[in-house]
Amino acid sequence: MDLDFWWLLAIPVAFALGWMAARYDLKTLLSESANLPRSYFRGLNFLLNEQPDQAIDAFIEVVKLDPETIELHFALGNLFRRRGETERAIRVHQNLLSRADLPVTERDHALFELGQDFLKAGLLDRAEETFRSLKSGDYAMGAQRALLTIYGIEKDWNKSIDTARQLETMGSEPLEKEVAQFHCELAQEALQQQDAEEARRQLGLALKANPQSVRATILSGDVDAAGGAQEAAIAQWLHVEAQNPAYLPLVAEKLLKAYQALGRGEEGADLMATWIDRYPSNDLLDAAYQHVAALRGPEAAHALARAQMQKSPNLAGMTRLLEAQQSTAEEPRRSELELMRTLIRQRTKNLPRYTCQNCGFRARLFYWQCPGCSGWETYAPRRVEPITAPN
């Protein structure tokens, strides 16, 4: 009974203490709010209403009234940068860094923001110098990621590789795919300088970093073909099917030319027919159509186009099918087919596009690095058609 009595007594005491604590917190909050200038709340209101120009004016007034407010300096600098006023953003963050009493964490924050200002302004050298000064602390990994962006813009692939490896040691996600792409870029530079040995070395490093790098395999075939080793080039390009068959359209034309150079055109035609049956694709059909027509006649090309349309009907494939039918038709049927093909081609000539799976950027050419978001291997290696054509 005594225990129950004390429990009953403890309940109202705990309630009273909680009520007093809440009152104290409320008074503290009201007191702190009362000390803030009205301009601060006006600035917040403008931000919530998506009026950045008015918010900047309000926050500038607050900073004049209370120059010690670090958080408002950061908010003001970020607002300037988002508006494209990088010079003003740089001045705000430089003013923060000039303060002798700035804590280490806030100094690192200001340095990171200043680096972002320089990057946005296109001052890559100053941005690199700023980010390189952040060797440790909460902003070190973000600084390394920014450096990776800078080296990509500058096409300094050796520094990109070193930075990616540094990021991995700091605990970032694996970057094997990106590292392989950097080595491929170096290999392409070597090929342009006709340095096949260096190109092979870089491609070996690319495949070591990422054994599934389709680009490294394709470039290895290109190196062999340039050196006259057509058999070796064919072996490299055929390996793409095991890595990722979606990329076969990128090597179809190369393979057909290599087979023709070796006097094995029929073997190449058989391979294309097998791939089109196994992996229906307009891009594969485009690569094989003229080759098959020249080698085996228009009827064989017609059969190839018809089989493709039965498996994957689309407007681009329809133009090929009409072309095949037109080549074997007689007048006036041939004129009708020509009219139909012309109308469809005019309507669809700009439709098929490679589309970035990351940002949606669409392009007529295939890119290993998206021009829109700079992501690597974000393009699906087959062209797609929108559901509706543009007016």
Amino acid at 236: Q
For 44-62, the pLDDT digits (tens) are 455 445 555 565 555 555 5
Residue 28 has pLDDT above 60, yes or no: no
12: preceding bond cis by omega (within 30 degrees): no
**3-class DSSP state for residue 303?**
helix
* Structural domain total, the chain: 4
Whether 52 and 89 have beta carbons less than 8 Å apart is answered as no
pLDDT value, residue 388: 42
In the predicted structure, residue 178 carries a pLDDT above the cut 70? yes
Of 131, 150, 169, the last residue of a domain is 169
| CB-neighbour burial class of residue 360 (10 A; exposed 0-12, middle 13-18, buried 19+) | exposed
Residue 376, domain member (yes or no): yes
Residues in Cβ contact with 230 at an 8 Å cutoff, skipping those fewer than 6 apart: 224, 258, 261, 262
Measured between alpha carbons, how far is 208 from 182 in angstroms, rounded to an integer? 13
Which residue would you say has higher pLDDT here, 61 or 284? Answer: 284
**Bridge-partner residues for 355, per DSSP?**
362
Residue 43 has pLDDT above 60, yes or no: no
**Binding site for Fe cation: what residues are annotated?**
356, 359, 370, 373
Q: Percentage helix, strand, coil, to 5, in the chain?
A: 75, 5, 25
Last residue of a domain, one of 169, 191, 224: 169
**Does residue 241 sit in the same domain as residue 252?**
no
Q: Which of 108, 31, 99, 106 is nearest to 67 (CA)?
A: 99
Whether 253 shows a pLDDT value over 50: the answer reads yes
331-366 per-position pLDDT tens digit: 676 666 666 667 666 665 655 578 888 888 888 888
Please tell me the total number of residues recorded for the chain in this structure.
Answer: 391
Opening angle at CA 268, ends 201 and 237, nearest 5: 20
Q: Assign 374 to helix, strand or coil.
A: coil
Pair type for strands 354-355 and 362-363: antiparallel
Asked if residue 49 is part of any domain, the answer here is no
pLDDT tens for 296-321 read: 777 777 777 777 666 666 666 666 66
Residues 207 and 256 in one domain: no
Q: Is residue 258's pLDDT more than 60?
A: yes
Q: Is residue 308 part of a domain?
A: yes
Contact 177, 211 (CB under 8 A): no
Instruction: Say if 327 falls within a structural domain.
Output: yes
Same domain, 180 and 203: yes
Domain extent, residue 375, equals 352-386
pLDDT at residue 150, rounded to an integer:
96
Binding-site residue set = 356, 359, 370, 373
**Is there a contact between 326 and 335 (Cβ–Cβ < 8 Å)?**
no
Percent pLDDT > 90 in the chain is 40
